Structure formats: C-alpha cells, structure tokens
Amino acid sequence: MRFEIAHAPTPVTVAGVVALGQGVHSYFRSWVSRWTKSACGICLLIGAIAHYAPLRAQPAATPAEIKTKIEDLKDSTIVRAALTDLSKKISDAGTVSVPRIHVLGATYGDLRTGAPKWRTCDSTTAMISSCERTRGCNIPTPGNLCGFDPAAAASDAIEGVAVTYQCVSGDDFLWATLGGKPPKPARGFDIYTGQFKKETQSIACLQVER
C-alpha cells in the first residue's frame, strides 16, 4: 500500500503527520485483528512473518570438523550395535536354512489300532523337550515319555511311541509362531507320522523342504 501527500492548499504540519501515522497504525491493527480471528488467518500471518523474517546463515563445516564427527559416530555404542545387528542379518540372509524337527504330537503305549485309551499316554511334552528344533534326536526312554508305562504288560511288537512331526526350515520369527498347546503346524511343510518301538531309533530331517 502506498501513501502519497498531494499538493494541498494548506501546508503540512507536524500534527497532520502524527494524525496520519495514527490512522495507518489503526488500519493495520484492525486488519491483523480480522485475520487472526480464524485459524486460517493465523496460519497465513505466521507464514508471512516466517517468509519475510531474516534467515541466519549457518557456516559450512570444515573438513577437519567433518572428520571429527565421523570419528565420533564410529565410537558411538548405538552405531556399533546397529552395524553388528545389520551384519548378523546379512549373514543370516546368505545362510541356507536347514530343516529342523517340529513336534506336533506324540502318544506312547499300546500302538495297536483300537487299543483302549488307558493303555496310552500323551508324550508330546517329552518329545518336544528332546527333539524340538533339532536336526535329529533319539527316542527318550519309556520312563521319560510319560513318567509311567501305560502298557507295561505289552510286548515290544505293539508298544512304542507314535510321533507326528514336520521338518521345518525357517527363522526365529517363524518358530515363535509355532509354539503353544497344542503346537501349531507350519504352513507349506509336509506332516509325517512315525512309530518308534526302540530307544535306539531316531527321528531326523535330512533334506531342505520349501
């Protein structure tokens, strides 16, 4: 906005200039008051002030200062921890995951079809303790499967442990999703059931499955 004093028939006095200044001041005060009554007006006013405010120039860092900052970063425990974690993830990504046993369930005792349930016991916990996430394991002794022998009088031909399991290859995140009671099967991997009647027998995962 431009103000001009036109040639007037009367001379400009000090009082007149003061009155003009007061009028201009009053005008701008009323203008600011109108705009700040709304959120939009406040934003525009702040933006205008920020746009026309003088900016302080930041001096550029010298090569010596840059080198010092880099050395400080190298000595930072946070940076070192991040680099160590990154290195481990890169190493894990380049390693072929081997298949490991994932026990889904196990029953010990009389394995004949139609045998009374009281002649068997749930040995899932014992098999998980011995075999879970291993590449291979031996069958635990009968006394360690259930704590008792549900079919003590049964012959070796019908007594044993039936194990349902998978051979799973995956990272810690995958294995963390498989726990619980009962254990959860891993998607995309075959399910096997085997009967083992001697302690010398073992379960093993020999080849990678995808």
Instruction: Give the single-character DSSP code of 37.
Output: T
Could you read off the pLDDT of 161-172 as tens digits, one per residue?
Answer: 999 999 999 888
User: What is the average per-residue pLDDT within 183-196?
Assistant: 92
Could you read off the pLDDT of 32-47 as tens digits, one per residue?
Answer: 455 445 554 554 445 5
User: What is the average per-residue pLDDT within 4-21?
Assistant: 49
Record the tokens describing residue 173, joined without a space: 């995140």
Is the pLDDT at 24 greater than 70, yes or no?
no
Contact 108, 125 (CB under 8 A): no
pLDDT band at 84 (very low <50, low <70, confident <90, very high): confident
Q: What angle is formed at CA 71 by the lines to CA 68 and CA 74, rounded to 5 degrees?
A: 155
* Pairwise pLDDT comparison (100 vs 47), residue with the higher score: 100
pLDDT band at 199 (very low <50, low <70, confident <90, very high): confident
Rank 33-47, 68-82, 177-191 by mean pLDDT and report only the highest: 177-191
User: What is the average per-residue pLDDT within 130-137?
Assistant: 93
Q: What is the model's pLDDT at position 22? A: 59
Is the pLDDT at 206 greater than 90, yes or no?
no
Residue 158 CA: distances (Å) to CA of 12, 43, 142, 152, 201: 124, 84, 14, 11, 15
pLDDT band at 7 (very low <50, low <70, confident <90, very high): very low
Q: Lowest-confidence range among 39-43, 105-109, 172-176?
A: 39-43
Mean pLDDT for all residues in the chain: 75
| CA proximity to 203, closest of 138, 128, 133 | 138
The domain spans of the chain are 14-51, 100-204
Rank 42-51, 151-160, 200-209 by mean pLDDT and report only the highest: 151-160
Percentage of the residues of the chain whose pLDDT score is greater than 90: 27
Is the pLDDT at 8 greater than 50, yes or no?
no
Torsion of CA 146, 147, 148, 151, to 10 degrees: 20
Q: What's the rounded Cα separation, in Å, for the pair 104 and 2?
A: 87
**Beta-carbon count within 10 A of 16 CB:** 13
